[in-house]
Amino acid sequence: MAVTPRTSVVLLMHHAELYKSTSTGRLLHRVIPSAHLRLRGAPEGPAPAPLLPERRLLLFPDPSAPVISPELVNDEPVALLIPDGTWKQARRITQRDPAVLGAQRVNLPPGAPSRYGLRRSPRPEALSSFEAAARALGVLEGEAIETRLMAAFDLWVERSREVREHGEQIAPSCRAGA
């Protein structure tokens, strides 16, 4: 189920996330094929920054940043920058990636708690990268896009839990190393 938002989505992913089965950033890139993927921390260095609109919003918790809103964007083309990794890796990305230079930091509005549950988060209000992107796009583009994204997310979480619980019942040809 591919989703095509009007907003440019740029995923600033720590390279280790690319290989994790619990990576919501990988899922986001699959569900939003137009999203730009920029790997960070890889030995060969980051991919070149995509050509982005001048206005960039960095989605990462910051007590001094405004809450993302349609009024904040004011119908201008924007790129939504989403760091993806552990909280420590994501924080480093927000401090070191050249794509974030000059980007305006924004926070999410309060909302429903995380439905992820496949990894532990440091705070109860924390969301996965996918959930944060879905909420931000819902604010900017309307509830319908958030609903579509979260339907894909919920299905992925459900299937991931089934694999964890019943992994031994997966066909041998689907197992790693088989």
Per-residue pLDDT of 20-50, as tens digits, reads 888 899 999 999 999 999 888 877 766 666 6
57 part of a folded domain: yes
| In-domain check, residue 1 | no
Reported as half-sphere exposure (CB side, CA atoms, 13 A), residue 133 has a value of: 32
| Residue 58 covered by a domain | yes
Label residues 127-155 b or e (16+ Cβ within 10 Å = b): bbbbbbbbbbbbbbeeeebbebbbebbee
Is 2 within the bounds of a domain? Answer: no
| Sites in the chain below the pLDDT cut of 70 | 45-51, 117-124, 167-178
Q: Which tens digits make up the pLDDT trace of 85-94? A: 988 999 999 9
Structural domain contains residue 175: no
- Identify which of 9, 12, 20 has the alpha carbon closest to the alpha carbon of residue 77: 9
Asked if residues 68 and 59 have their Cβ atoms less than 8 Å apart, the reply is yes
Number of domains making up the chain? 1
- Determine the structural domain holding residue 161 and report its residue range: 8-170
